[in-house]
Amino acid sequence: MIEVDNIHKSFGNAHILKGISTTFNKGQTNLIIGQSGSGKTVFLKCLLGLHEPEQGTISYDGKAYGKLTGDERRNLRQEMGMVFQGSALFDSMTVEGNVRFPLEMFTKQSKSEMQDRVDFVLKRVNLVDAHHKFPSEISGGMQKRVAIARAIVMNPKYLFCDEPNSGLDPKTAIVIDNLIQEITEEYDITTIINTHDMNSVMEIGKKIIFLKDGLKAWEGTNKDIFKTENEAVTNFVYSSDLFKKVRQMYLEERN
């Protein structure tokens, strides 16, 4: 669980986050949505410990980040997995090498122990025959699954995903959404996803927070988002005619 209490973050005269409070629970997919410039990326970086708020607290399973020692912060970061927007794989490393990299950097496991763990997570993301391929030799969807395998290889408590469906076709994006949700529930991870993908919002948004101008403008679930009267949310989520029709059909069926 990650608890956020009244955090503020500024850069110079620009006040980016303005008193955000929320809770991200274990074992569910928590989504952050909002227009570009709403503060999503800065918020995610605060949760990752890359930015420290000037005011407010962020607590990880009851431990306030601001009160941790340097060693405790380093240990906490090793409990975090990150799936980057562009996958951020090392082109010069094989799939296996990319996934093994965090183990080599942060553990004292033997080569056989690392290999067992790499084999396990690659099998978990349905990549059993790609060990010796390079990122340039596999599809975008497969690259994203490698990124997920690397993010979970250290068995993290917290998983952060920045636009995990960026650049993927709709069908592959659904596969990635389902995989993230399955892993989250299976390993009871606190997962936070920064996304613009409305399919993700509708499919796996167990909890959604909507940011607008650095404020938390709305909070709810993918079911709540169909019936919300919050104009800012409906204008963002139902910006296309298709989604407007879907929402109208949903409301008519309920009535």
Taking residues 211-219, what's their average pLDDT?
94
Confidence of residue 128 (pLDDT cuts 50, 70, 90): confident
The pairing of strands 215-220 and 2-11 is unpaired
Q: Which of 204, 208, 211, 94 is nearest to 143 (CA)?
A: 94
Tell me the per-residue pLDDT of 38-74, one tens digit each, with 9 for 90 and over.
999 999 999 999 999 999 999 999 999 999 999 999 9
Tell me the per-residue pLDDT of 6-43, one tens digit each, with 9 for 90 and over.
999 999 999 999 999 999 999 999 999 998 889 999 99
The pairing of strands 190-194 and 158-162 is parallel
Q: Is 182 helix (H, G, I), strand (E, B) or coil?
A: helix
Starting at the edge strand found earlier in the chain, the sheet holding 28-33 runs 80-83, 158-162, 190-194, 28-33, 207-212, 215-220
Taking residues 226-247, what's their average pLDDT?
76
Can you give the pLDDT at residue 226?
78
Can you give the pLDDT at residue 86?
84
Is domain 2-224 given the CATH code 3.40.50.300 in the classification? Answer: yes
Confidence of residue 254 (pLDDT cuts 50, 70, 90): low
Q: Could you tell me the residue ranges of all domains in the chain?
A: 2-224
Confidence of residue 232 (pLDDT cuts 50, 70, 90): confident
Highest mean pLDDT among 145-149, 166-170, 197-201: 145-149
